[in-house]
């Protein structure tokens, strides 16, 4: 598998398997990396996965910037922020040992919440930075 595929799969496993994420997004967690038709609220969707080479003399490394969006209709701004906090916490607590690549670093670089144009829902955005190297995770 490619670095993108391995890291994305590991991230999705970390998010959907986390109890805090399940408390916010249901069981199974409504965190998608595909085009799911009419999901229940709240839900999170992977929107972007940017990859940059970050090689060093020790070997091949990749820098992943992964953006997820959260859409929430109930509980206002607070509920959307709590959903983002659950995603952030899941990444902070993740066990990356099954990632297929060695995860050197995983952290949140950005998050924001705003009211959607329909004025009925809130949209949250969270971006993670993950650095991976060749080798078993």
**pLDDT grade for 28, boundaries at 50, 70 and 90:** very high
Residue linked to tokens 């229940």: 40
pLDDT in the model for residue 75: 82
Q: Six-digit token pair at 121?
A: 């829902």
Kindly report the pTM of this predicted structure: 0.89
From 20-24, 39-43, 104-108, 122-126, the region with the lowest mean pLDDT = 39-43
Instruction: Find the domain containing 79 and state its range.
Output: 3-133
Angle between helix 3-16 and 76-93 (nearest 10): 120
The listed range with the strongest mean pLDDT (13-27, 33-47, 89-103) is 13-27
**pLDDT grade for 117, boundaries at 50, 70 and 90:** confident
Higher pLDDT, 61 or 65: 65
**Section 100-108 average pLDDT:** 91
**Section 59-81 average pLDDT:** 90
pLDDT in the model for residue 74: 87
Nearest to 42 by CA among 67, 21, 13, 19: 21
Using an 8 Å Cβ cutoff, are 79 and 86 in contact? no
**Section 35-46 average pLDDT:** 87
CATH of the domain at 28: 3.30.2000.30
**pLDDT grade for 57, boundaries at 50, 70 and 90:** low
pLDDT in the model for residue 84: 96
Using DSSP's 3-state secondary structure scheme, residue 86 falls into helix
The string of DSSP letters for 17-78 reads T-HHHHHHHTTTT-EESS--SSPPSSEEEEEEEEEEE--BTTB-EEEEEEEEEEEE-SSHHH
């Amino acid at each position: 598998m490619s670095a993108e595929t391995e890291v994305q799969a590991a991230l999705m496993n970390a998010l959907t398997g986390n109890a805090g994420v399940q408390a916010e997004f249901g069981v199974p967690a409504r965190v998608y990396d595909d085009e799911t038709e009419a999901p229940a609220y709240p839900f999170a969707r992977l929107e972007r996965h940017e990859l940059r080479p970050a090689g060093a003399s020790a070997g091949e490394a990749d820098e992943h910037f992964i953006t997820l969006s959260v859409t929430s209709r109930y509980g206002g701004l607070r509920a959307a922020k709590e959903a983002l906090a659950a995603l952030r916490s899941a990444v902070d607590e993740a066990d990356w040992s099954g990632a297929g690549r060695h995860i050197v670093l995983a952290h949140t670089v950005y998050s924001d919440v705003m009211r959607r144009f329909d004025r009925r829902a809130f949209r949250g955005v969270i971006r993670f930075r993950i650095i991976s190297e060749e080798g078993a995770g």
